[in-house]
Structure 1
């Protein structure tokens, strides 16, 4: 692994003192751009619609995963654990593990979900660790989820290898995230000019093929990709419009999408039996 699982400083700041989950644009404790397909964007969108968009992104990822009844689920990059709680509440998972590299995020997650953690037998737990070096046993999970976290992972091949290791035979990974549309070497510079999070290194610009190739190289099969940018970027941009003008950097995610630089995808793959 490139960095031994060390937390990058931009990630430490954004999810520690920066506490992105507490920002109004990430209402409800989720930290994702949202999946807006079922939300009417012809008029203003409020806090309830924003929370639903984030929940619906998890629902879309879960539907793509084909989560088995009473299965064991791992979420990589769980943040405050809101997605973990949704899996327990709506999909009947037997147990859910949330993994995150940031101790402050995990402290907040444990505080937020104390009632679930105290149940007997426990169905939810949180573990600190890097996506590239998971402190978890082999073949422990039926499903691995990751929602809008892969842009922070410094080593996608190591993440793919760990995903394949912790999945049971027949298990599936389902991931949502944003990637460049191709491997043009100029894409990182283009994104750095448009978006502060790429300029400061919080988000890492990589092509979708970097992930799909990594999955294939570790033996995962049935790798499938779905572009969902049309259901993500317009709604996200409309939500941001209440705080930022069209020419400010947070609004440039939509510009990058329309210029054919960046898109949002769900990616699924299976560990062979």
Structure 2
């Protein structure tokens, strides 16, 4: 446990520390616009040349997919777990008109970047946007503080999904909703090793190979109801690979996400649940 400016925070795993700190994944060309997600490509024509506008739109659409699933958000209090640079928080404020949005991230470098990127907005409306340091398994918030808990492509990094589920249930007010997007793995024996051989992010510990039930079961234990899982891989992996094809050769490992999906090793899901 370390003590940060925003309170007690569990130690980060080394791969997370490096990737979102000195390596600054948000600066990679593959993540245009600072959103840091693989994109939701439905409605984007993949047969045409893809440029940065299409890539940014795909990442915005992923946020819209999750925010809509958490809604309606008008005049509600929203927290994003794993907010990164806060681009999704800004989109939520602009398009969904919640009362306030809190962006929470475990990495102090990400929070510094978020505060720098949204300095004008923070100064103009400090009651509507804030960035707080905290871990998914130990959120620095009161019971029932939020009407919606959202998370976009961060749960694959959470070391303890059961603890996250319990915390999400705790900080949600009655009637509040959870909406999360992330990728999960086939639980069959030997498949995690097969996945790690294709994708070094699973081998080095950045991403953790777990089945979707590793989250849905703890959500039920935590008392959340109306738990639903929607696979959306068909709208994620082909678009991601089409975008990466303009940046990377076929043998580059990030392009193995599509083969891994086609081999049934992993898929992308939207998970929703409700606090009764």
Out of 128, 131, 135, which is 1:130 matched to? 135
Corresponding residue of 2:54 = 49
Matched, 1:212 2:216: yes
Q: Which position in structure 1 is the counterpart of 2:237?
A: 233
1:249 counterpart = 2:253 = yes
Distance 2:189 2:103 in 1: 34
In the TM superposition, residue 116 of structure 1 has moved relative to its aligned partner by 1.1
Aligned-CA RMSD value: 1.2
Task: After TM superposition, give the deviation of residue 153 of structure 1 in Å.
Answer: 0.2
Number of equivalences: 269
Does the Cα contact within 8 Å between 1:175 and 1:266 map onto a contact in 2? yes
Question: Residue 4 of structure 2 aligns with which residue?
Answer: none
2:251 is paired with a residue whose SS is: coil
Distance 1:121 1:265 in 2: 33
Structure 1, unmatched stretches of 5+, are none
Aligned equivalents of 2:231, 2:31: Cα separation in 1: 22
Match of residue 202, structure 1, among 206, 218, 224: 206
C-alpha separation between the residues in 2 aligned to 1:192 and 1:95? 39
Distance 1:173 1:161 in 2: 12
Large movers: runs of 4+ above 6 Å: none
Of the three residues 242, 245, 266, the one matched with 2:270 is 266
Q: Deviations over 1:47-103 (max 9, x none)?
A: 000000000000001111123321000000000000000000000011000000000
Aligned-pair distance for 1:5?
Answer: 2.5
**CA deviation after TM superposition for structure 1 residue 121, in Å:** 5.3
Distance 1:140 1:233, change over 3 A: same
Counterpart secondary structure, 1:136: coil
Give the match's secondary structure for 1:24: coil
SS of the equivalent of 1:118 reads helix
**CA positional deviation for 1:120:** 4.2
- How do residues 23-172 of structure 1 correspond to structure 2 at under 5 angstroms? 23-120=28-125, 122-172=127-177
CA contact (8 A) 1:187 1:205 kept: no
